[in-house]
């Protein structure tokens, strides 16, 4: 285990989280087309950062920094890490950040088509997932973790966590679509709002079951209970932020410009959503690390019950 | 399609598919008017003409103008320290910035107004970015008529119009840059214009095939000249909310005479006419869903 590598992976994950916040600020401020230029802004590497160009070009600068950090992380991994699959994941991180940069450019050049903007927002979450996973895989707790006793529940916990993770990811895609389907001065489409609300119920159910089962079945095993507790806390905050984001966004078409309450709350909702996602990733990865693969077994070789007719 | 556009397009499609995140696209554009290339063959109109004129009023207390926070760009604050919204500009009960236009109608003799061809003016309409504000705020042009966009501010702007039937367009314009000339080739009422650098900056362009449109002045007055005698549907559009509000009236324009069509917005607004010869339809308030 290389402590320096793990710390650097954590740094990249934190920088990625900051990048997600910077990207959310671009959307909430309606700054995505503050310049029609890409990768430069108005033909300059360091333009005068006034008005919404501050948010758009600032996002590009943070993204460039994260790109550089990802390259450095890959070099670090290739130099210090022996596990092939971790090395491959490092390569995956670099490919993802390159693709993300290209999507960012595309969405500016094509004037924010919904599909490209949504893909850009979704890949941001996946890239965050990769950087957090790298931080997890290079950590001491991961490497030294010991297998726990067999899953006590009727449904294997790892499957519950995976189901929660997939549900959250789908909800993130719906959320990204909703956010990019209308600017602050337009009404959001009702069908997407309803889909996102439905998604919130599904996530609450899926993540709630996964986290509560973790807490009930593995009390005292902080390797699992910590991310489960954190996921529940973040989920509660996220639901409240979602309601607040809806209310502020509902009023924004009548505002003269994007106002700070709407900007702050919608950005916090995006950021908290990303944290719910990665906390669930950590929980899921850890269940796969320490819990045995067999939870429920279906014995296909057993004989069918014989009935005797008297 | 040039090579660069093709490259962007291919990359876009490939990445979108690979990421499987391209959901919910495909909004359908509604065509608001035919391309200017379409003509019905009646040729230019020649004959007597009349006028539609009126006043646009606002009933009740208008919504208070909202203060705009220009702190994101100090130049805007210096140029216009008390910048306010101008969505509803009312003076002595009269409403400015209402786009009034002849939507359709039948000329005496039975031909439709749209059957005739109407020459495109050779003079460009000016759109200036001045004090971090669009001047004029609402205006009309004919299809293919030039719009000359200037930046009088000591800061950079970007002009971004978001039509439904015409191509979307976004262009940065630094201070001191030469004017940009653009035009629309399809009729569309109304095209929103915004500056993504200063998100409070908004303007609206009514793009018409005919020259029969006007914008109400500070006195609420408007006048549409040169109409062939006939019966027309006149529409008044006022901005506000997501898509604005329309009111419609039917008027009969006499040869060498004038028809009066007054519009009213606000509380309990009803369309009025002071011309007894005028055929008046009840006012209809139509929320627009483009």
Task: Looking at the structure, give the CATH architecture of the domain made up of residues B34-287.
Answer: Sandwich (2.60)
Highest average pLDDT, of B81-85, B107-111, B262-266, comes from B262-266
Mean of pLDDT values over A15-20: 98
Q: Select the residue of B11, B74, B156 nearest A102 (Cβ to Cβ).
A: B11
- Residue B26: pLDDT above 90? no
Q: Which domain holds residue A77?
A: 1-144
Which chain B residues are closer than 8 Å to A111 by Cβ? 168, 170
Least confident stretch, A58-67, A163-172, A264-273, B263-272:
B263-272
Looking at residue B1, its pLDDT comes to: 52
In this prediction, residues A260-277 reach a mean pLDDT of: 98
Q: Is the peptide bond before A39 cis (omega within 30 degrees of 0)?
A: yes
Please tell me if residue B158 touches chain A, with a CB cutoff of 8 Å. Answer: yes
Whether B160 contacts B196, CB under 8 Å = yes
Closest CA to A243 of A197, A208, A201, A178: A197
- Based on the fold, state whether residues A187 and A263 are members of the same structural domain: yes
Q: Does residue B282 register a pLDDT over 60?
A: no
Given A144, A173, A202, which residue is the final one in a domain?
Answer: A144
Judge whether A96 is closer than 8 Å to chain B, CB to CB. no
Strand, helix or coil for residue A121? helix
Instruction: Please write the tens of the pLDDT for every residue from B39-49.
Output: 446 789 988 99
Whether A89 is covered by a domain: the verdict is yes
State whether residue A175 sits within 8 Å of chain B by CB: no
pLDDT at A254: 87
Ranges of each domain in chain B: 34-287
Q: Give the total number of structural domains in chain A.
A: 2
Same domain for A82 and A24: yes
Task: Place B270 in a pLDDT band, splitting at 50, 70 and 90.
Answer: low
Taking the Cβ of residue B78 and every Cβ of chain A, the question of whether any pair is shorter than 8 Å is answered with no
Predicted confidence (pLDDT) at residue B38 exceeds the cutoff of 50: no
What CATH number is attached to the domain comprising A178?
Answer: 1.20.120
The confidence score (pLDDT) of residue B6 equals 61
Q: What is the mean pLDDT of residues A64-68?
A: 98
Nearest CB partner across the interface for B21, out of A50, A119, A257: A119
Residue B240's pLDDT is 82
Q: Who among B155, B172, B194 is closest to A35 (CB)? A: B172
B66 close contact with A: CB closer than 8 A:
yes
Nearest to B195 by CA among A201, A122, A34: A34
Would an 8 Å CB–CB cutoff place B17 in contact with chain A?
no
Note the pLDDT of residue A122.
97
Q: Could you tell me if A121 and A181 lie in one domain? A: no
Is B203 in contact with B193 (CB distance < 8 Å)? yes
Q: Do A36 and B158 touch (CB under 8 A)?
A: yes
Q: In this structure, how many other beta carbons lie within 10 angstroms of the beta carbon of residue B35?
A: 15
The per-residue pLDDT for B7 is 56
Residue of B nearest to A188 (CA): B242
**Between B233 and B288, residue with greater pLDDT:** B233
What is the reported pLDDT for A139? 96
Whether residue A307 lies inside any domain: the answer is: no
Clarify whether residues A38 and A167 are in a common domain. Answer: no
Residue A306: inside a domain, yes or no?
no
Q: How far is A63 from chain B (nearest CA, A)?
A: 18
* Interface contact A113-B170, CB threshold 8 A: no
- pLDDT (tens digit per residue) in A126-152: 999 999 999 999 999 999 998 887 666
Q: B80 pLDDT band (50/70/90 cuts)?
A: confident
The answer to whether the CB atoms of B66 and A253 lie below 8 A apart is: no
pLDDT at B267: 83
Quick one: pLDDT at residue B13?
54
Q: Read off the pLDDT of residues A203-257 as tens digits, 9 standing for 90 and up.
A: 999 999 999 999 999 999 999 999 999 999 999 999 999 999 999 999 999 899 9
Distance in Å, alpha carbon of B2 to nearest chain A alpha carbon: 14
| A39 in a structural domain | yes
Rg of the Cα atoms in chain A: 22
Question: With an 8 Å Cβ cutoff, is B287 touching chain A?
Answer: no
List all residues of chain A from 69 to 88 with a beta carbon under 8 Å from chain B.
none
Tokens coding B73: 């760009």
Q: Quote the ipTM score.
A: 0.84
CB contact under 8 A, A42 and B156: yes
Give residue B25's pLDDT: 35
Helices (H) and strands (E) in chain B, counts: 2, 20
Q: Cis check for the bond before A239: say yes or no (omega within 30 of 0).
A: no
Give the mean pLDDT of B83-102. Answer: 94
Residue of A nearest to B20 (CA): A119
* Shared-domain flag, residues A16 and A62: yes
Tell me the percentage of chain B whose pLDDT exceeds 90: 68
Q: Is A253's CB within 8 Å of B196's CB?
A: no
Token pair in block for residue A114: 């919904």
Q: Are residues A153 and A271 in the same domain?
A: yes
Q: Is A109 on the interface with B (CB under 8 A)?
A: yes
Q: Answer yes or no: do A1 and A139 share one domain.
A: yes
Model confidence at B66: pLDDT above 70: yes
Residues A254 and A210 in one domain: yes
- Asked whether the predicted pLDDT for residue B20 surpasses 80, the reply is no
Q: What is the pLDDT of residues A88-110, one digit of tens each?
A: 999 999 999 999 999 999 999 99
pLDDT exceeds cutoff 70 at B31: no
- Identify the top-confidence range among A1-10, A153-162, A276-285: A276-285
Give dist(CA B144, CA B256) in Å, integer.
29
pLDDT at position A155, please? 86
Q: Each residue of A119-151: b (16+ CB within 10 Å) or e?
A: bbbbbbbbbbbbbbbbbbbbbeebeeeeebeeb
pLDDT attached to residue B2: 55
In percent, how much of chain A has pLDDT > 70? 93
**C-alpha closest to that of B72 among B184, B159, B177, B197:** B197
Domain boundary among A93, A121, A144: A144
Reference A59, options A81, A79, A32, A80; nearest CA is A32
Say which residues have a Cβ less than 8 Å from residue B128's Cβ, sequence separation at least 6.
B134, B135, B149, B150, B151, B152
Query: CB distance from B74 to chain A under 8 Å?
Result: yes
pLDDT score of A210: 97
Name chain A contacts of B19, Cβ cutoff 8 Å. Answer: 99, 103, 119, 122-123, 126
Residue of B91 and B20 predicted with greater confidence: B91
Percent of chain A exceeding pLDDT 90 equals: 86
Residues A92 and A209 in one domain: no
* pLDDT given for residue B10 in this prediction: 59
Summarised one tens digit per residue, pLDDT across range A174-189 is 999 999 999 999 999 9
Query: What is the count of residue pairs from A and B with beta carbons less than 8 Å apart?
Result: 122
Q: Which of A142-156, B7-21, B43-57, B224-238 has the lowest mean pLDDT?
A: B7-21
Q: Is residue A310 part of a domain?
A: no
Give yes or no for B170 touching A (CB within 8 A): yes
- Please say if the pLDDT value at position A121 is more than 90: yes
Chain B residues within an 8 Å CB radius of A36:
158, 170-172
According to DSSP, the β-strands at B94-95 and B202-208 are unpaired
Enter the DSSP assignment of A304. P
CB of B15 less than 8 A from some CB of A: yes
Neighbours of A113 (CB within 10 A): 20
Enter the tokens of residue B273. 């006419």
Per-residue pLDDT at B9: 56
Residues from chain B contacting residue A53 (CB–CB below 8 Å): 156, 197
| pLDDT of B86 | 86
């Amino acid at each position: 285990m290389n402590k320096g590598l793990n710390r650097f992976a954590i740094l990249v994950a934190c920088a990625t989280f900051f990048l997600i916040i910077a990207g959310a600020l671009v959307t909430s401020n309606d700054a995505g087309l503050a310049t029609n230029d890409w990768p430069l802004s108005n033909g300059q590497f360091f333009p005068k950062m006034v008005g919404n160009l501050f948010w758009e070009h600032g996002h590009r600068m943070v993204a460039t920094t994260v790109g550089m950090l990802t390259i450095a992380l890959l070099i670090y991994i290739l130099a210090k890490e022996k596990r092939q699959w971790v090395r491959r994941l490092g390569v995956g991180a670099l490919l993802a950040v390159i693709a993300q940069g290209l999507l960012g450019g595309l969405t500016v050049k094509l004037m924010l088509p919904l599909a490209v903007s949504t893909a850009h927002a979704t890949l941001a979450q996946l890239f965050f997932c990769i950087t957090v996973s790298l931080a997890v895989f290079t950590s001491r707790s991961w490497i030294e973790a010991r297998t726990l006793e067999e899953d006590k529940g009727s449904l294997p916990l790892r499957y519950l966590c995976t189901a929660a993770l997939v549900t959250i990811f789908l909800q993130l895609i719906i959320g990204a679509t909703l956010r990019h389907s209308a600017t602050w001065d337009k009404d959001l489409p009702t069908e997407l709002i309803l889909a996102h609300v439905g998604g919130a119920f599904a996530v609450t159910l899926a993540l709630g079951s996964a986290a509560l089962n973790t807490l009930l079945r593995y009390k005292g095993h902080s390797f699992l209970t910590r991310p489960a507790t954190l996921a529940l806390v973040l989920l509660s905050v996220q639901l409240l932020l979602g309601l607040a984001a809806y209310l502020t966004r509902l009023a924004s078409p009548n505002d003269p410009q994007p106002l700070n309450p709407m900007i702050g709350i919608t950005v916090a909702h995006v950021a908290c959503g990303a944290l719910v996602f990665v906390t669930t990733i950590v929980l899921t990865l850890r269940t796969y690390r320490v819990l045995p693969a067999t939870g429920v077994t279906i014995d296909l070789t057993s004989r069918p019950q014989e009935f005797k007719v008297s | 399609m040039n090579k660069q556009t093709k490259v962007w397009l291919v990359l876009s499609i490939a990445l979108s598919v690979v990421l499987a995140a391209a959901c919910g696209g495909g909004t359908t554009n509604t065509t608001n008017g035919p391309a200017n290339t379409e003509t019905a063959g009646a040729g230019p109109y020649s004959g007597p003409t009349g006028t539609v004129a009126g006043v646009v009023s606002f009933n009740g207390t208008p919504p208070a103008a909202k203060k705009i926070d220009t702190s994101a760009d100090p130049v805007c604050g210096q140029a216009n320290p008390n910048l306010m919204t101008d969505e509803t500009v009312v003076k002595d009960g009269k409403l400015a910035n209402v786009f009034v236009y002849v939507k359709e109608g039948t000329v005496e003799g039975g031909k439709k107004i749209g059957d005739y061809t109407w020459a495109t003016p050779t003079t460009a309409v000016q759109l200036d970015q001045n004090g971090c504000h669009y001047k004029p705020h609402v205006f009309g042009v004919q299809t293919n008529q030039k719009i000359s966009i200037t930046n009088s501010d000591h800061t950079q702007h970007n002009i971004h119009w978001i039509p439904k039937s015409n191509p979307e367009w976004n262009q940065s314009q630094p201070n001191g840059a030469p004017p940009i000339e653009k035009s629309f080739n399809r009729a569309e009422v109304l095209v929103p214009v915004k500056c993504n650098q200063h998100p409070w900056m908004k303007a609206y362009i009514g793009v018409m095939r005919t020259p029969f449109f006007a914008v109400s002045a500070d006195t609420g007055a408007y006048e549409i000249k040169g109409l062939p005698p006939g019966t027309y549907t006149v529409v008044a559009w006022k901005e506000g909310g997501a898509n604005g509000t329309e009111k419609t009236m039917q008027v009969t324009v006499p040869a060498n005479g004038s028809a009066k069509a007054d519009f009213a917005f606000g509380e309990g607004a009803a369309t009025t006419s002071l011309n007894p010869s005028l055929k008046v339809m009840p006012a209809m308030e139509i929320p627009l869903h483009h």
